[in-house]
Amino acid sequence: MVSLRTPQSDAVKVLRGPARRRKSRGRTNAQVAVALAVIVFFVLLSVLAPLVAPYDPNAADGSLKYLPPGSPGHLLGTDEQGRDILSRLVWGGRTSLVIAFISVTLSTLLGSALALLAGFSGDRVSGAIMRTIDVMFAFPVIVVAVALAVILGPGTPVVIAAIVFASVPYVARVIFAEVKQQRGREYVEASISLGAGFSSVLFREVLPNVIGQIVVYGTGLVGGMIVFSSSLSALGIGVQPPTADWGRMISEGAKVIISGNIFVALFPGLVVLVVALAFNWLGDGLRDVFDPNKRRIRA
C-alpha cells in the first residue's frame, strides 16, 4: 500500500503541535483567570458584607414577604419573612465560605500527613493507616453528621467535623498513591543510598514533588464541600437560624417553591452552583499547570 504522507504534511503536523499546545495553555489560563475572578468577587463580597449589604440580613417585615425580584429597594426580592434576599446572600457567603475553607484546609493537612506517613512507613504502619482510611470510607457521612449533631448540638462545628471526616479518606488515598509513585523514583533511592534519614527524604525530597497535587486536589475539593455543607445546613444539622447561610436559604426556599415563589431558592442555588463550579475550574486549571504531563491537547 502506497503511503500518501509527504514532507509537507509532516511539516504541517510539526507546526500544528506547538500551536495546539499554545491554544490549550491559553484556554487553561483563561479558565483559571475566570475562576479566580469569580472566587475573589464572592470572597470580597462576603468580607465587605457590612458595607455592601443593603439591609440587615435578619431584619424581618411580614408586610414585605415574597416581594418578586426587581421590587423597589429589593433587587432579588424578599423571602417568607420579608427579609432581603440579596442581603442574606451577601452575609451567607461569610458562613458558607469560611466553613468550606476551614474544613478543606484541615482535611487536606490531615489527609496528606497520613498519606505521607503511610507511604514511607513499614508494612504494618502503612497497613494500619490505610485500613483505618478504608473504615472511614464505610461510614455514611450523613449518619456521622447526625450523630455529631446529637452529641454536640447542631451548628458550625458539626458541619466542619462532618466535612473533615468525609474528606480525609479521599485526600489520603489520592496523595498516598502519589507518594508511593514518588518513592520508587531514582532520586529518592539515591538520597536513601547517600544516608539521608526518614524525615529528610520525606520533607526535602518527596513533599516538594507532591505539594502540587495536594494544592490541586484541595482546591478542587472546596467546591464540593460548599455543596456538601449547604446540604447539611438544609437538613437542619448545620448553621442554625436566623444566621444567613446559602444552604439554609435553599432549604427554606424549597418549602415555598410549590406556591410559585421559585426565586427564594433559585438565587442561593445559583450562587452555590457558580462558586462550586469556579473552584472546580480552578482545581482543573491548576492540575494542568502543576502537571505538564497531563495537559490535554484540545483541538
CATH number of the domain to which 83 belongs: 1.10.3720.10
Average per-residue pLDDT in the chain?
A: 80
Cβ(81)–Cβ(62) below 8 Å? yes
The more confident residue out of 196 and 180 is 180
Which pLDDT does position 295 carry in this prediction?
A: 47
**What is the Cα–Cα distance from 292 to 296, expressed in whole angstroms?**
9
What are the residues whose beta carbons fall under 8 Å from the beta carbon of 5, sequence distance 6 or more?
none
- Residue 162 belongs to domain spanning: 19-294
Q: Is 10 a domain residue?
A: no
Decide if 4 is inside a domain.
Answer: no
Exposed, middle or buried: residue 238 (CB in 10 Å: 0-12, 13-18, 19+)? buried
User: Would residue 6 count as lying in a domain?
Assistant: no
Task: Specify if 277 maps to a domain.
Answer: yes
Residue 204 lies in a domain: yes
Write down the pTM of the prediction. 0.76
285 pLDDT band, cuts 50/70/90, is: confident
Tell me if 7 is assigned to some domain.
no
pLDDT of residue 213: 81
Give the lowest-confidence range in 67-81, 82-96, 168-182: 168-182
Residue 297 pLDDT level (bands cut at 50, 70, 90)? very low
Low-confidence winner among 57-66, 90-99, 227-236, 265-274 (lowest mean pLDDT): 227-236
| CA separation for the pair 252, 81 (Å, rounded) | 10
**Residues 29-71 pLDDT 10s:** 788 888 899 999 999 999 999 999 999 999 888 888 889 999 9
Is residue 11 situated within a structural domain?
A: no
pLDDT digits (tens, 9 = 90+) for 235-269: 778 777 788 888 888 888 888 888 888 999 899 98
Domain count, the chain: 1
Give residue 14's pLDDT band: very low, low, confident or very high (50, 70, 90): very low
Q: Per mean pLDDT, which of 100-104, 138-142, 181-185, 194-198 is the most reliable?
A: 100-104
Residues forming a β-bridge with 78: 84
Any domain includes 31? yes
Question: Among 15-24, 93-102, 135-144, which stretch is predicted with the lowest mean pLDDT?
Answer: 15-24
